[in-house]
Structure 1
Amino acid sequence: MRARVACSALLLCGVATSARADDAGRRWSGDLTLASQYVSRGFQQSWGRPALQGGLDCATPQGWFAGTWASGVSPRFVEGGRMEWDLYAGYAGSHDALDYRAALYHYRYPGARISATGTPYDYGEAILGAGWHGWSLDYSVTWTRDYFGFNSRTLGIGERMHSRGSTYLDLKRRIDLGHRYGLTLHYGWQRVNHFRDYGWRDASVALARGFGGFDATLAYARGWNGAGVYRAYSTGVADSNGRLHVSNPIAGTWYFTVGRSF
């Protein structure tokens, strides 16, 4: 899970105007961000604690791109994990006011595994997206056997079912407010294949401003799950003090980020 899917592709569409080129015509760009917490698709993945995030992208003038991005996460949200590490590659282009993109993503959580079943959290998605006059729409489909470790063994539902084919719809509206301010409105819908009760919807609003080469964002996000399966979320594993940490990771929350692109 991550929040950077749509904005990464949009950034790469325009990277040729801002990044340096090497002898092969490739374009490089990167970013480094400090977040008060890591919130992705409505989920508080760092359990309300600060997270350091950063990425590096490479694109060609023909529209092909590849990159990597990472963020700190909490082992209270991902059992045994402290980092999300994303790898991606694809193609982005534009025609008049329309931009479009297609990419493959693989999300890794090094060292993280659901100990009761030995299931990793790692998963992959194929993503198609388009943007037009400040609107963007991205559609993601899980191509790996499981989405974020969801299967019959980990959830205790059915027999030998996996969550390949899970989908996420990401709709955004970006509004330029002038004076280096920008507003982003987001709505998302996650469907977990074969496990309907574990799907959710999420929304967020974010106000951003650029200053002195940095970008600062204040945002509010929350999610909704009709079955209530996330109200008392836990990995089920106690910490070193024997305490079991329980929370609602999709409850409404504010967070703040400061970052710099290069």
Structure 2
Amino acid sequence: MSEVSAAPVVAEPHEDTATLWLSRPERGNALGPDMVEALDAEIDRALAEGARLIVLRGRGRNFCTGLDLADLDTIGDGDLALRILRIEMLLQKIHALPVTTVAIAGGRVFGAGADLFAVCDHRVALRGSSFAFPGPAFGLVLGTGRLAGLVGDTAARQLLLAGGAVEAQRALDLGLATALIEEEATEGAIGAAHAAATRLDAATVAALHGRTRHADDAGDLAALARSVARPGLKARVESYRARVTAARR
């Protein structure tokens, strides 16, 4: 078994930019409880230290492959439901931040990882990346309102009902991604986002975010809570995981 990284999230502050690295490449940077809590804490730290731009990136091949199911065999429905609800609370927090956010995503960007990508202001897809929202396959309704706000109701339904991966160009065409670049252009993309974030004073940026953010947080949370409260959540996840494993073989 590969060794688990010491810190699930590594922060690299530089002046008024905080780059937060998801640092569990051996698990595809999947969102386990420790990573969710670490990301939440590092965001708070970045804001307290005056960050004007927060950049989310992933170590290794994949930005984020979704919910970490490494210990699924040892937890019950209740713990699993709480983990999923906690992810939604983090997503809502990031979506509502008063500073500019950027996600730089390569490799697989799946499930809750795709939702994490979707809540950022600048959503930069690296060439070769792919995106999928497979949650409905095991009865999960996560971030659907935000996704519909980005790509429209019809496209959101198609993505969620199909559940399959879409390539980076398709994500750009739909509006899920705001840019598609080669990996070597990453620093330039971050620099452009920084220039836009700091062109106005912090209070004005925060006010603009507040007026241009359209989200039904309570509705999204209620829909998610209903979906995880259905009996058999763990069994549905196990069944989905078995189907995916069999298909890969």
Same fold per superposition (TM over 0.5)? no
Per chain length, whose mean CA-contact separation is higher, i.e. which structure has more relative contact order (CA < 8 Å, sep 6+)? Answer: 2
Higher strand share: 1
TM norm structure 2: 0.28
Q: Which has the larger radius of gyration?
A: 1
Greater share of residues in helix: 2
